[in-house]
Structure formats: C-alpha cells, structure tokens
C-alpha cells in the first residue's frame, strides 16, 4: 500500500502522530526532511532492532523519489511489519505541493 503526498501532508497538518522512516543518506536527510527517523536504506536490514515501533503500527517510508522507500517498505514487510506504506513520488512530490513541509 502507498500513501500520496497530499494524504501525508494532511496527516502531518492534523497533528497526527506518524511513524516516518526516511531511508535517504544522512546528508540528504540533514539537507531537507519532514521529520521522522533516518536510517539509510543500506543500513536498514541491520538496524531493524533500533526501531521502536510495534510491527502492527502504521509506518510511512520516505525518500527523495519513492524508489528507495519502496525497497525499504519491502524490507520491513519481510521482517514482519504489517502496516507499511510508501510515499508515492517521495519528498519531491511533497515539495511540488508547495506546502510548509
């Protein structure tokens, strides 16, 4: 399952607590981010124990364009996470919406 940029912005603006996992490299994350945890995709398989989320909680995986986050979503699902969503179009789609995020 995926989530659109507009739907994610709506969740963020409503103040809903969201489990965001940004799988971009650390430099990319520090250059621009919308919050969440940053675990680069290459490190994700070995850092799954660092996630403080239950395996049935909603987790939204994000990256720049939506490709690395799609892979991250599959890694989480293969490790028992049930409610994982990929941000369609990545952070680029959010920036195109021209919002405060």
Structure tokens at 33: 């981010």
Kindly name the residue from 63, 76, 84, 87 that is annotated as catalytic: 63
Residue 69 CB coordination number (10 Å) = 27
Q: What angle do CA 79, 84, 87 make, to 5 degrees?
A: 130
Active site residue 63: yes
Instruction: Just list the catalytic residues.
Output: 63
């Amino acid at each position: 399952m995926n989530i659109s940029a507009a739907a994610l912005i709506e969740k963020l603006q409503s103040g809903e607590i969201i489990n965001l996992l940004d799988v971009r490299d650390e430099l990319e994350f520090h250059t621009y981010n919308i919050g969440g945890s940053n675990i680069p995709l290459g490190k994700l398989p070995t850092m799954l124990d660092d996630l403080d989320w239950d395996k049935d909680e909603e987790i939204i995986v994000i990256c720049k364009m939506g490709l690395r986050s799609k892979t991250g979503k599959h890694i989480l699902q293969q490790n028992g996470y049930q409610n994982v969503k990929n941000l369609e179009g990545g952070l680029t789609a959010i920036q195109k919406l021209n919002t405060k995020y």
